[in-house]
Chain A
Amino acid sequence: MLETVLGFFRENDFWLEFLITVIKIIVVFGICAQIPPFMVWFERRAPAFMQRRKGPNRVGLFGFRLFGLIQPLADTIKLIFKEEVVPTGAHKFFYHIAPVFSLFTSLMVAAAIPFGPPLVILGRTITLSVVNLDVGFLFIFALSSLGVYGITLAGYSSNNKYSLMGALRAAAQMISYEIPLGLSLIPIVIIFGTLDLNSIVVAQANVWDWGIFRAPISFFLFVIAMFAETNRAPFDLAESEAELVAGFHTEYNSFKFSLFYFGEYVSMFVLSCLASICFFGGWQTGFISQNDLTSLLFGIQPLAVLVGVLMTFLKASFFMWLFVWVRWTLPRFRYDQLMNLGWKFMMPIGLFNIVLTAVIAGAIAFK
Chain B
Amino acid sequence: MNPYLPVLMFLVFGVTIGLILSAISYFVGPQGKKNSIKSEPYECGVPMAGVAQEKFSVKFYLTAILFILFDIETVFLYVWARTFGELGWFGVVEIFVFLVILLAGYIYVLRRGALEWN
B52 near A159 with CB under 8 A, answer yes
B10 near A131 with CB under 8 A, answer yes
B53 near A107 with CB under 8 A, answer no
DSSP majority for the B interface? helix
Q: How far is the CB of A180 from chain B (nearest CB, A)?
A: 10
Q: Which of A100, A158, A168, A347 has most B Cβ within 10 Å?
A: A100
- Flag whether A321 is at the interface (Cβ < 8 A): no
Q: For chain A, give the interface size range.
A: 35 or more
Contact A172 B41, CB 8 Å, known A108-B14, A254-B29, A256-B22: no
- Flag whether A214 is at the interface (Cβ < 8 A): no
A168 near B10 with CB under 8 A, answer no
- Flag whether A51 is at the interface (Cβ < 8 A): no
Q: Which residues of B contact A255 (CB under 8 A)?
A: 21-22, 24-25
Q: Which residues of B contact A137 (CB under 8 A)?
A: 78
Residue of B nearest to A112 (CB): B7
Q: Which residues of B contact A195 (CB under 8 A)?
A: 78, 82
Interface residues of A in 74-129 (CB under 8 A from B): 79-89, 96-97, 99-100, 103-104, 107-108, 111
- 25 pairs, A vs B, C-beta closer than 8 Å: A21-B9, A24-B6, A80-B25, A96-B22, A97-B22, A100-B18, A103-B14, A104-B15, A108-B11, A131-B3, A158-B41, A163-B41, A175-B64, A178-B67, A178-B71, A179-B67, A182-B71, A182-B74, A189-B84, A251-B41, A251-B42, A255-B22, A336-B117, A339-B115, A351-B99
Point out residues on B near A: beta carbons under 8 Å: 1, 3-7, 9-11, 13-15, 17-19, 21-26, 28-32, 36, 38-44, 50-54, 60, 63-64, 66-67, 70-71, 74, 77-78, 81-82, 84-85, 88-89, 92, 95-96, 99, 103, 106, 110, 115-118
Kindly list 8 other residue pairs between chains A and B, CB separation below 8 angstroms, not including A164-B54, A172-B63, A182-B71.
A89-B41, A104-B15, A111-B6, A159-B41, A179-B74, A183-B77, A195-B82, A344-B110
